[in-house]
Amino acid sequence: MALKRTRAALEADLQAEQSPYAFYGTPLPPLDEDVRDDGSFVPIWKQEVRDEHGGKRLHGAFTGGFSAGYFNSVGSKEGWAPSTFVSSRQNRAQKVEQKRPEDFMDADDLREQEESRQLQTADEFAGFGSTELDATRRAGLMDILKTGGETMGVKLLKKMGWREGQGIGPKVRRKANLDESSAPGGDAEETYLFAPENPPMVAFIRKTDRKGLGFEGESRLESHNALRPTRDVEESDSFFGGRLAIQGKSQPPKPKEPRLGGLGVGPLNDTGSDDEDPYSLGPQISYNKTIGGDKKKKKKVKPEPTIASANPLLNSKPVFISKKVAAARGAGGFRKCRDGRLPLDGFILADGIMGLSISEKKYDPPVIPEAWKPAKEISSEKRDQSKYVSTADAAKASTLNPTSRAALLGEDQLPGKSVFDYMTPEAREKIVKLTGNANLPPALGEKAPEGYELPKSQKRKDLWDLVPKLDKQIAAQALARAVSGWMPYQEDEKKRARYQIFLQVSAGTRSTLPERVEGSSTDEWVIEMQEFSRAAEVFKPMSGVMASRFTSSSTAPKIVSDAPDSAESGLSRPAEKPDDPAVAAAKIGMFGPMTRSTISFYPSRLLCKRFNVKPPENVQLDPGEQPGAPSTEPGTRFQSAGLQAETGPKQLVSQDVMNQLLIDSLGYLPTADGLDPSASNPPNAPPPVVVEPERNDALEAERPGDAVFKAIFGSDDEDE
């Protein structure tokens, strides 16, 4: 049946229809694999309108007709925030993505832009037929092909500070060249540094004509030569700069100057000078028609502002100068140096000096007149040179020894003994140990020879210097304490005795040296004495006046106060003072009663409850104490006040406890002088501290009930 096409036929047909004009090769695959583009029937409902990006633009009427945004919403795929949004909190100070103009163009604009683009040769390469009047351009093929843009070399030069139109090289010092209109002699001749002139490119022109070398012909008349402004002689500030600037350093051609041209001289070359003979034979330059200085000066070679010179290093064309002329110039002494300047005053050019033989003679030393006799006589003639001996040689040759030398000098002879003779064997051992050299002379332990030994008083004085200085008063106080019963070093009776003697010596009641331990060295003795000195400082009692003024944190009951006011905390500060005996004792490692102090502690009832203990007596008896209240401060104040008045049962209790503790630790109870500042108030010394009205915090604080006062002060009144 031919009514229905086979699938294969359809495919083949489709292929043919897809690309009906592909007669050779394989046609390209269809643009979209899914969409049949064979013009076959597609129902209306299946037809879709798509934009250039393939997006569906038209939708059914129920969905709004056409689409916008993301699924017809105002949001985007990422949500409400557009994908282009970048939070400045996270990406602070980040560069915003650079927008291109294309980003803001719609389809029409883009199409217009496409259309406006035209393919053309870049302007830089349109070198042929350039209208630029540039001599260097026309100089050679190389220049024609040169691009107008910046070559890499130019770029590099510009980076280094070069600018177009300048020459290359060090700066040149010359006068400012303003313009012709400026008054020629008006301003002071001030010179400035200028960039060097741009020398024209050296062009090697192939010679195709038969004109003489260096002949310019009518090229001389060219505009660029005439346009060159007359300029002063440049002063190059270095050799190199000057050399590079040769080409540009042309002198203005003077009309009267004789031409130094080539052979063929045409009417155009006639400069109007009568001196010239255009028909004279030979190079004109080699002839001088007049004899005379001034004429010759004019004839000096002027650098030609031409491009004809093949060698850029040469100022001018090589000319022939006869020896005679040269000699005449030399005689005149006005020859200029190569740089065009006159030689320095008093110098002449080396060329001018004819022969070396002359110059050799010139520098011979002056001849001494025969009759001349020197005024001085040479003293060396007197000395016998042959017998000279250096000091070192003389010393070597000398037969004198120290003894004989001493005799010669009239010195008393020292006993011929070494240091070791005076050393004790121990000292020698020390040296042996230190040096590791056992081969030392034996120590004899001799006494110093008579007349040299130290006087005994001096020796003792040296020892006295070793005894640490202790204030007399401190020593006396420490001694007083010792007398009253308490002293450190209880465990070592001998040491204690030594300490006592040391104190006596320091106090001045004893004049002998402090004792030392049997067999101990001086160093150990000194160390022990220093320790004694420190101990005495620690154990010295406070003087009465001072003790009444200050309380120390380690003198226990006085500081009992939790009051945070500044006066109290200031008083409790002496613990930080270095002279605090407790701190000092702790620093020298004497832990024990010295560093230990006990103060009352008034835990709140709630705390005791939480600790599951019965509140201590002082808390129980405190009438001001409110259970649960965090304020122990009024209570403590009253406690301390009561303590100072030596009343109150709790004080007695704690005193007992403390005394017991002290007895336990020390073995006895400290006595009145308070040898142990950590101990509580001594019983037989009434406390110097009384209740001062300005310091009575109880008055300033909230006034408690009368019962409180009665409980504390009531008994006092009765006692007194």
Based on CB atoms, which residue is closest to another protein, 582 or 641? Answer: 582
- Return the closest-CA partner of residue 516 out of 534, 533, 528: 528
The two three-digit tokens of residue 698, written as one number: 């109880």
Q: How far is the CB of 689 from another protein (least distance, A)?
A: 19
Based on CB atoms, which residue is closest to another protein, 196 or 677? Answer: 677
Q: How far is the CB of 712 from another protein (least distance, A)?
A: 18
Based on CB atoms, which residue is closest to another protein, 67 or 595? Answer: 595
Based on CB atoms, which residue is closest to another protein, 487 or 599? Answer: 599
Q: How far is the CB of 561 from another protein (least distance, A)?
A: 9
Q: How far is the CB of 623 from another protein (least distance, A)?
A: 16
The two three-digit tokens of residue 606, written as one number: 């709630």
Based on CB atoms, which residue is closest to another protein, 261 or 635? Answer: 635
Pairing of strands 191-194, 235-236: unpaired
* C-beta separation of 474 from 504 below 8 A: no
Based on CB atoms, which residue is closest to another protein, 526 or 661? Answer: 661
Main-chain dihedrals φ then ψ at residue 191, nearest 5 degrees: -115, 150
Query: Which positions touch another protein (CB under 8 A)?
Result: 553-554, 562-564, 569, 572-573, 575-576, 580, 582-587, 589, 591-593, 595-604, 606-608, 610-619, 628, 630, 632, 654, 657, 661, 664-665
Based on CB atoms, which residue is closest to another protein, 290 or 665? Answer: 665
Based on CB atoms, which residue is closest to another protein, 105 or 613? Answer: 613
DSSP for 344-361, please give it. PTT---GGG---HHHHHH
How far is residue 271 CA from its own chain's centroid?
Answer: 72
- Return the closest-CA partner of residue 507 out of 499, 515, 496: 499
Q: How far is the CB of 447 from another protein (least distance, A)?
A: 41
700 CB neighbour count, 10 Å cutoff? 12
The two three-digit tokens of residue 601, written as one number: 């502690």
* C-beta separation of 614 from 605 below 8 A: no
Q: How far is the CB of 629 from another protein (least distance, A)?
A: 9
Q: How far is the CB of 529 from another protein (least distance, A)?
A: 23
Q: How far is the CB of 698 from another protein (least distance, A)?
A: 17
Based on CB atoms, which residue is closest to another protein, 582 or 711? Answer: 582
Based on CB atoms, which residue is closest to another protein, 250 or 618? Answer: 618
Q: Can you tell me the distance from the alpha carbon of 105 to that of 100, in angstroms, rounded to the nearest whole number?
A: 9
DSSP for 196-207, please give it. PP-PPPP--PPP
Q: How far is the CB of 543 from another protein (least distance, A)?
A: 22
Q: How far is the CB of 437 from another protein (least distance, A)?
A: 30
Q: What is the CA radius of gyration of the chain?
A: 61
* C-beta separation of 260 from 212 below 8 A: no
Is 662 buried (19+), middle (13-18) or exposed (0-12) by CB count in 10 A?
buried
Main-chain dihedrals φ then ψ at residue 384, nearest 5 degrees: -90, 105
Q: How far is the CB of 94 from another protein (least distance, A)?
A: 27
Contacts of 364 (CB under 8 A, 6+ apart): none
Q: How far is the CB of 619 from another protein (least distance, A)?
A: 6
Crossing angle of the two packed helices 456-466 and 522-539, in degrees rounded to 10: 50
* C-beta separation of 486 from 581 below 8 A: no
Report the sign of the C-alpha dihedral through residues 683, 685, 691, 695, in that order: negative
CA atoms within 13 A on the CB side of 534: 16
Q: How far is the CB of 538 from another protein (least distance, A)?
A: 12
Q: How far is the CB of 570 from another protein (least distance, A)?
A: 8
Based on CB atoms, which residue is closest to another protein, 492 or 617? Answer: 617
Q: How far is the CB of 673 from another protein (least distance, A)?
A: 21
Based on CB atoms, which residue is closest to another protein, 32 or 664? Answer: 664
Based on CB atoms, which residue is closest to another protein, 257 or 537? Answer: 537
Q: Which residues are bridge partners to 58 per DSSP? A: 66
Q: Which residues are bridge partners to 193 per DSSP? A: 173
Based on CB atoms, which residue is closest to another protein, 503 or 599? Answer: 599
* C-beta separation of 96 from 103 below 8 A: no
Main-chain dihedrals φ then ψ at residue 504, nearest 5 degrees: -65, -40
Q: How far is the CB of 559 from another protein (least distance, A)?
A: 8
Based on CB atoms, which residue is closest to another protein, 14 or 661? Answer: 661
Full strand arrangement of the beta sheet holding 235-236: 191-194, 172-175, 235-236
- Return the closest-CA partner of residue 679 out of 555, 571, 496, 542: 555
How far is residue 158 CA from its own chain's centroid?
Answer: 34
Contacts of 613 (CB under 8 A, 6+ apart): none
Q: How far is the CB of 576 from another protein (least distance, A)?
A: 6
DSSP-assigned letter for residue 156: H
The two three-digit tokens of residue 65, written as one number: 């007709």
Based on CB atoms, which residue is closest to another protein, 209 or 664? Answer: 664
Q: Which residues are bridge partners to 175 per DSSP? A: 191
Q: Can you tell me the distance from the alpha carbon of 651 to that of 645, in angstroms, rounded to the nearest whole number?
A: 10
Q: Which helix (H) or strand (E) holds 651?
A: helix 649-666
DSSP for 269-285, please give it. G--S-SS--TT--S-GG
The two three-digit tokens of residue 266, written as one number: 């045409």
Q: Can you tell me the distance from the alpha carbon of 316 to that of 336, in angstroms, rounded to the nearest whole number?
A: 14
For tokens 């050019």, what's the residue? 349
The two three-digit tokens of residue 334, written as one number: 């006005």
Is 347 buried (19+), middle (13-18) or exposed (0-12) by CB count in 10 A?
exposed
Based on CB atoms, which residue is closest to another protein, 653 or 708? Answer: 653
Q: How far is the CB of 708 from another protein (least distance, A)?
A: 19
Based on CB atoms, which residue is closest to another protein, 348 or 666? Answer: 666
